[in-house]
Amino acid sequence: MAAPREALYFPASQRQQLDSYLPSPSITSTSSVSSKPHVTLTFATSLDSQLALAPGVQTALSGPESKAMTHYLRSKHDAILIGVGTAIADNPSLNCRIEGVGGYGGEGLYGQPRPIVLDPKGRWEISAESKVVKLAREGKGKAPWIITKTDVGEQKRSLLESVGGKFLRYGDSFGGVEASLSARMEWRGMLQLLSREGIQGVMIEGGGVVINDLLSADNLELVDSVILTIAPTWLGRGGVQVCPEQRQGLGRSLPAGRLKDVNWMPLGEDVVLCGRPQ
């Protein structure tokens, strides 16, 4: 099957620099269920550490080379996870468009990740016009899973199920009664839920609330790798900023976190930073 013209290409020499930060192929082929998947946190920021010009505004930061890199990462994970703020703002495709994956020159849905949206209150009005739904119908991406705490209603459920997606109910078993009353979901519980659903590697793309939460003192240990694209642009004040809370220790403020095993990789006009949280 020939790859369509819009397929992206990412060279083998650059792939090698990323592979040690990705879920190991031996993990993805084993049938054992571990307590959590490999978590890769990956996003693009401006020089002033912002994801977008304003909340709810989609902002292209990655150049063509780093965009192809992101699609290579997508091909190496079982799933891509985003918050509902991003689903509403971007109407994203969340598929993989690298040459050779299913729908882009490859067979079936080979290499396509599962899109997962974190939507505790059922705010995302997913419809037949949503890009993820259209791509699933066209055989160019997997249908989404939506993690929720609410009853979503029959209309959304049947639409999602008609393309092979589903709702995953985050329930009392992940945090008890108190957790079930608030919209917040604990990351450890969510990752356990994904692991039980067979997800062994997940890339978490954003947006701001999700990233800052994962970079917080409580959650950083759950992140295995960070792969960050930095674009040579200042977006200016007022955007969606990546800036986690400082840690507190012995009555003073401490840095929020730091990466080890760092690799900097220029890609076109951008630079890609890979590392593991210390």
Ligand X SMILES: NC(=O)C1=CN([C@@H]2O[C@H](COP(=O)(O)OP(=O)(O)OC[C@H]3O[C@@H](n4cnc5c(N)ncnc54)[C@H](OP(=O)(O)O)[C@@H]3O)[C@@H](O)[C@H]2O)C=CC1
Ligand Y SMILES: Nc1nc(O)c(N)c(N[C@@H]2O[C@H](COP(=O)(O)O)[C@@H](O)[C@H]2O)n1
User: Residues in the site for ligand Y, rule: CB under 6 A?
Assistant: 44, 59-62, 70, 82, 86, 90, 92-94, 205-206, 229
209, interface contact from ligand X, ligand Y, none, CB < 5-8 Å by kind: ligand X
C-alpha radius of gyration, the chain, whole number: 18
Binding-site partner at residue 146 among ligand X, ligand Y, none, CB < 5 to 8 Å by type: none
User: Greatest CA span in the chain, whole angstroms?
Assistant: 62
User: In angstroms, rounded to a whole number, what is the distance separating the alpha carbons of residues 156 and 125?
Assistant: 8
C-alpha 170/C-alpha 148 separation (Å) is 6
Is 203 a binder of ligand X (CB under 6 A)?
no
Angle between helices 64-75 and 12-19 (to 10 degrees): 60
Q: Which residues contact 179 (CB under 8 A, 6 or more apart)?
A: 172, 185, 186, 189
66 binds ligand X (CB under 6 A): no
DSSP-derived pairing of the beta strands 166-169 and 252-254: unpaired
Give residues 84-113 in contact with ligand X (rule: CB under 6 A).
84-86, 89-90
Q: Binding ligand X by CB under 6 A: which of 166, 184, 196, 258?
A: 184
Write the DSSP symbol of residue 205: E
Partners of 98 in the beta sheet? 8
Q: Which amino acid is at 134?
A: K
DSSP letter, residue 243 = -
Stretch that binds ligand X, among 43-51, 104-112, 151-159, 171-179 (CB under 6 A): 43-51
In whole angstroms, the minimum distance from the beta carbon of 66 to ligand Y comes to 7
Residue 64's binding partner among ligand X, ligand Y, none (Cβ under 5 to 8 angstroms by kind) is none
78 scored as a contact of ligand X (CB under 6 A): no
22 binds ligand X (CB under 6 A): no
Q: Tell the smallest beta-carbon distance from residue 45 to ligand Y (Å).
A: 9
Residue 118 site contact among ligand X, ligand Y, none (CB < 5 to 8 Å, cut-off depends on kind) = ligand X
> Please, are residues 124 and 87 in contact by the beta-carbon 8 Å criterion?
yes
CB under 5 to 8 A by kind: which of ligand Y, ligand X, none does 184 bind? ligand X
Please identify which residue in 10, 43, 72, 104 interacts with ligand X, judged by CB under 6 A. Answer: 43
